[in-house]
A and B are shown apart, each in its own frame.
Chain A
Amino acid sequence: MAPATIWLLAMLVLPLVVVLVFSFGERAAAGGYSAAVTLENFANLGARWTAFQNTLMLAPLGTVLCLLIAYPLAYYLAVKSDPKWRTLLLILVIVPFWTSILIRSYAWIFLLGGQGIPKLVSLIGYGSPRLINTPFAVLTGIVYGYLPLMVFPIYVSLERLDKRLLEASADLGSPPWRSFLQVTLPLSMPGVATGCMLVFILLMGEFLIPAMLGGGKVFFVGNALVDLFLQSRNWPFGAAVAVALVLIMLVTVTLYMRFTRRWAGGRDDVSLM
């Protein structure tokens, strides 16, 4: 067997097989796994419906918000900014990555807490809105945390764009907004598709930001998994939830790839995969 095959088997296939086997087992008396063959864990999946629902709503919403903020930013960086400053600006986008997401999320706890933004809002007389431990807080944290992952693929595809195409478009009498819609936007689609995929996949498994900014009240599937393995120690049920999540991801990502491929005219460089 080629080394790559062995690596793939050991690091990807084997753990998945373990998870699958566990998902048919039973919780041991003091917690953990005890061998059995039962479908009960899958029958109980409904008990985590809210977690799936939250994830399936907030992950796509977070991805779309990331895209809406990242595209203008990437466009500015790649097209409008002074090349002299471009590298510096790009570094500024990366800088937050130098600090742990844990610490940056903690900063948001204070920003969104009663002594933070709500206090400022109340000072200018608009009441004291409740921000922390709400879906809004989680969404804010998500968009903040994952924005760079969306900016970079889009930046790369915009930067590679052949400027002569825009000149040709202008020569043929197209106004700038039309050139953007008919030339720039379609040609940056590979970057958009890659960025969305990156952010969406990671968001589906997110647990840290909901735990910190959701106060244990905005629960993702990731949180349900942490809970099942690290608190209630029901490994088989946890494995079943994990299997369900993997299946949902497989279906969503496959559909997404089909869709984006057709959308981009059958080009193969659309996605990472």
Chain B
Amino acid sequence: MTNRNDFISRERFMAELMRYRKGSVTRRHFLGVTGLGAATAVLGSAMPGLRSAAWAQGNIGDRVVLATWPNYHDPANFEAFKAATGAAVDMNVFGSNEEMLAKLQAGGSGWDVFVPTNYTITTYVGEDLIEPLDMARIPNYDPASFNERFAGPGTVDGKVYAVSKNWGTTGFAVNTSQLGGKPKPTTWKEFWDLTQAEFSGRTMVHDYQLTTIGNALKYYGYSFNSIDANELAEAEKLLMAAKPHLFAISSDYQPSMRSGDAWMTICWTGDGKQMNRDMPEIEYVLGKEGGELWSDFYAIPKGAPHMDAAYALINFLLDPAVNAKEALFHGYPTADKRVDALLPPEVLNDPILYPAAELLDALEFGAAVTLTDPNRAELMARFKSA
């Protein structure tokens, strides 16, 4: 209540408004002298994602179609995006990268933004299904602040096709209250053995060849990415033996885990975090033998119908403040230092989000070949139809 010098009197405001309307001062002068410009700037910065946004003036349409993964966004951020731009986010959820690729290969997906995983991007580039990004339209993406290990796969042959969304691990979640005093399983071997014994009828696996076959391969200590015919045959034997004991084959496992129908599931970082947050007895485990380390990206498919809205949405979601809210909601870490700076220490020290180095070292990134390898694809299809 002390310094009122920066306020403008009612009379002076009206006088300036008249001058502006008569055209004797510029809009810039009017906004400056009345403080409206500053007020707009303050409001704008309070509304993250609106700042320095080239599209803020333009009309980006009323809709943007996003193809993404289950439980991977804070709906409040989409509401904020709609309030700021008028474009509603129309979200499609997928269970595997194969499914995304199949939709794009068939054509006419209608997507504007999709969320591919690291190992798929070279295939999208090879098949000419992905748009090279105009980085000038994503000013919130600052390559220097991103961890190259996770952001790197977005660049193919020197061109940026995809910008880093989140990274994470694929482990398993287990409802420890159902273990009956037995120690918590810590390996993939125990995961599959438990499935065929005490947890019969209670385990879920992803409807996704990479993780389901990959973690069956881990039972024998083979590479998560193996395409060796003999190793795959062993993995198939395990999968077929386990199938009668499974509760379901689905990548949307949270409802069944939460209702208590399922007790154990192959699980991604954020789902593990979300379930553990609400039900501490559900714990997230990284198999000691290894498994998958992954990073996801935002990308624009060729022929996206709402290109402006696509860039606007990506830029909005990469605003560190928005991105931090996303991370707090879904429990997946980002590769952006600026986001980490906004996260509370208990998140940065969370062992689910940021596993111990020795556990991370055992993990592998998915390999591009697994996406297109016909034997892995057919093995998964056979396993499901058996």
Cβ of A8 within 8 Å of any chain B Cβ, yes or no, is no
Question: Could you tell me which residues of chain A, from 45 to 77, have a CB within 8 Å of some CB in chain B?
Answer: 47-48, 50-51
Cβ of B229 within 8 Å of any chain A Cβ, yes or no, is no
Q: A114-B261, A217-B246, A217-B249 are in contact. Are A227 and B385 (CB under 8 A)?
A: yes
Q: Which of A115, A130, A215, A231 has the most chain B CB atoms inside 10 A of its CB? A: A231
- Chain B residues near A136: list those with CB within 8 A: none
Partner-binding segment picked from B52-60, B75-83, B100-108, B181-189 = B100-108
Measured in the bound complex, the distance between the Cα atoms of B84 and A231 in whole Å is 37
**Contact between chains at B377 and A232 (CB < 8 Å):** yes
Residue on B nearest A221 in the bound complex, by CB: B385
Question: Could you tell me which residues of chain A, from 33 to 51, have a CB within 8 Å of some CB in chain B?
Answer: 47-48, 50-51
- Among B99, B209, B248, B384, point to the contact of A219 (Cβ < 8 A): B384
Cβ of A105 within 8 Å of any chain B Cβ, yes or no, is no
Which secondary structure dominates chain B's binding surface?
helix
Q: Mark B368-386, 1 if CB is under 8 A from A, else 0.
A: 0001101001101110111
**Contact between chains at A231 and B248 (CB < 8 Å):** no
Total number of residue pairs linking A and B with CB closer than 8 Å: 94
Measured in the bound complex, the distance between the Cα atoms of B98 and A32 in whole Å is 12
Cβ of A234 within 8 Å of any chain B Cβ, yes or no, is yes
**Contact between chains at A27 and B385 (CB < 8 Å):** no
Measured in the bound complex, the distance between the Cα atoms of B248 and A142 in whole Å is 19
A110 CB → nearest B CB, Å: 8
Measured in the bound complex, the distance between the Cα atoms of B127 and A216 in whole Å is 30
Cβ of B3 within 8 Å of any chain A Cβ, yes or no, is no
**Contact between chains at B102 and A229 (CB < 8 Å):** yes
**Contact between chains at A231 and B243 (CB < 8 Å):** no
Cβ of A224 within 8 Å of any chain B Cβ, yes or no, is yes
Cβ of A124 within 8 Å of any chain B Cβ, yes or no, is no
**Contact between chains at A130 and B372 (CB < 8 Å):** no
Measured in the bound complex, the distance between the Cα atoms of B167 and A187 in whole Å is 67
**Contact between chains at A216 and B207 (CB < 8 Å):** yes
- Chain B residues near A30: list those with CB within 8 A: 101, 105, 123, 126-127, 371-372
**Contact between chains at B381 and A130 (CB < 8 Å):** no
Q: Which of B126, B243, B248, B385 has the most chain A CB atoms inside 10 A of its CB? A: B385
**Contact between chains at B261 and A113 (CB < 8 Å):** yes
Q: Show 24 residue pairs from A and B whose CB-CB distance is below 8 angstroms, ordered by the A residue.
A: A29-B372, A30-B123, A30-B126, A30-B371, A30-B372, A31-B98, A31-B105, A31-B377, A32-B105, A47-B378, A50-B385, A113-B256, A113-B261, A115-B259, A215-B246, A215-B248, A215-B250, A216-B250, A223-B385, A229-B106, A231-B98, A232-B377, A232-B378, A232-B380
- Chain B residues near A215: list those with CB within 8 A: 246-250
Residue on B nearest A114 in the bound complex, by CB: B261
- Chain A residues near B381: list those with CB within 8 A: 224, 227-228, 231-232, 234
**Contact between chains at B385 and A224 (CB < 8 Å):** yes
B residues with CB within 8 A of A: 96, 98-99, 101-103, 105-106, 123, 126-127, 201, 207, 209, 243, 246-250, 255-256, 259-261, 371-372, 374, 377-378, 380-382, 384-386
Residue on A nearest B97 in the bound complex, by CB: A231
- Chain B residues near A48: list those with CB within 8 A: 385
- Chain A residues near B99: list those with CB within 8 A: 230-231
Question: Could you tell me which residues of chain A, from 89 to 145, have a CB within 8 Å of some CB in chain B?
Answer: 109, 113-115, 130, 132-133
A residues with CB within 8 A of B: 27, 29-32, 47-48, 50-51, 109, 113-115, 130, 132-133, 215-217, 219, 223-224, 227-234, 237
Given contacts A215-B250, A216-B207, A217-B248, 15 further A-B contacts (CB under 8 A): A30-B371, A31-B102, A32-B105, A47-B378, A109-B255, A115-B260, A130-B201, A215-B246, A219-B385, A224-B385, A228-B381, A230-B102, A232-B98, A232-B378, A233-B102
Residue on B nearest A214 in the bound complex, by CB: B248
- Chain A residues near B98: list those with CB within 8 A: 31, 230-233
Residue on A nearest B378 in the bound complex, by CB: A232
- Among A27, A130, A216, point to the contact of B384 (Cβ < 8 A): A216
Measured in the bound complex, the distance between the Cα atoms of B377 and A29 in whole Å is 12
Measured in the bound complex, the distance between the Cα atoms of B259 and A133 in whole Å is 14
**Contact between chains at B248 and A133 (CB < 8 Å):** yes
- Chain A residues near B102: list those with CB within 8 A: 31, 229-231, 233
**Contact between chains at B261 and A47 (CB < 8 Å):** no
Measured in the bound complex, the distance between the Cα atoms of B382 and A208 in whole Å is 19
Residue on B nearest A112 in the bound complex, by CB: B261
- Chain B residues near A32: list those with CB within 8 A: 105
Residue on A nearest B106 in the bound complex, by CB: A229
**Contact between chains at A234 and B261 (CB < 8 Å):** no
- Chain B residues near A224: list those with CB within 8 A: 381, 385
